[in-house]
């Protein structure tokens, strides 16, 4: 049987996780979205944003980072294991100089432990570095939300593990992009969330952009031709 690249990755990813205690969502659920990405023109050597719906819903991405060659390859509901499965389509084919990643919240919501979420995320990041050793990864922190308020302790634990891991690798830059979402008591601030109390409002995206823009312009200035 012929094995298409994305299908081979699905099989490989499932085999890698077979010994894990918590089942991962099946990557095949994103077949249509990934097919759309695969059919799009290939833009190489720029800045790829990938991850879950917080990336997918960033509709003003190109406007917010004018002058930077940004590409949105987020797909809503995804977990880190999906990024592994569809790595060739959402990352590798674009050969980005910079990769901005956001995932983790859906992983925890899918009942993965903090350690399982961390292992899946870093497995994806190691895959990036193995295939694209000159790419700089900008690892954005997992955000808290009102809808998933009960998971805030796990989110903060996961962020701490990711920050410590990134500090030991020169090719990764961890960026705290969620501190503004909490008040002095650590409670999520309503104004930064959309009506669903999960995703960001325009004000939330504006703050995220404010944090990320100087980081991306600095990193791009060091890597542009």
pLDDT, tens digit, 9 for 90 and up, residues 150-209:
999 999 999 999 999 999 999 999 999 999 999 999 999 999 999 999 999 999 999 999
Quick one: which of 48, 96, 93 has its CA closest to 75? 48
Contact assessment for residue 50 and residue 101, using Cβ atoms and an 8 Å cutoff: yes
> Cα separation of 106 and 136, whole Å?
24
Output the average pLDDT for the chain.
Answer: 92
Contact assessment for residue 114 and residue 157, using Cβ atoms and an 8 Å cutoff: yes
Choose which CATH entry (3.30.200.20, 3.40.50.720, 3.40.50.1110, 1.10.220.150) describes domain 9-221. 3.40.50.1110
Q: What per-residue confidence (pLDDT) applies to 21?
A: 83
pTM of the model: 0.90
> Cα separation of 86 and 10, whole Å?
8
pLDDT, tens digit, 9 for 90 and up, residues 30-53:
999 999 999 999 999 999 999 999
Beta bridge partners of 173: 138
Between the alpha carbon of residue 213 and those of residues 66, 69, 186, 209, the distances in Å are 10, 13, 25, 6
- Identify the band that residue 11 occupies on the pLDDT scale cut at 50, 70 and 90: very low
């Amino acid at each position: 049987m012929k094995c298409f690249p994305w299908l081979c990755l699905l099989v490989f990813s499932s085999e890698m996780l077979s010994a894990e205690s918590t089942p991962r969502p099946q990557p095949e659920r994103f077949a249509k979205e990934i097919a759309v990405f695969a059919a799009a023109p290939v833009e190489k050597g720029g800045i790829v944003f990938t991850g879950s719906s917080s990336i997918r819903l960033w509709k003003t991405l190109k406007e917010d980072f004018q002058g930077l060659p940004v590409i949105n390859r987020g797909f809503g509901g995804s977990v880190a294991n999906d990024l592994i499965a569809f790595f060739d389509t959402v990352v590798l084919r674009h050969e980005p100089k910079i990769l901005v990643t956001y995932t983790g919240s859906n992983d925890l919501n899918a009942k993965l432990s903090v350690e399982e979420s961390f292992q899946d995320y870093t497995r994806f990041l190691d895959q990036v570095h193995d295939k694209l050793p000159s790419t700089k990864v900008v690892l954005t922190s997992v955000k808290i939300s009102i809808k998933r308020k009960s998971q805030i302790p796990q989110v903060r634990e996961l962020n701490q593990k990711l920050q410590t891991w990134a500090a030991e690798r020169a090719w990764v830059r961890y960026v705290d992009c969620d501190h503004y979402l909490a008040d002095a008591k650590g409670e999520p601030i309503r104004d930064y969330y959309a009506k669903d109390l999960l995703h960001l409002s325009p004000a939330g995206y504006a703050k995220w952009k404010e944090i990320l823009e100087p980081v991306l312009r600095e990193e791009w200035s060091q890597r542009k031709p």
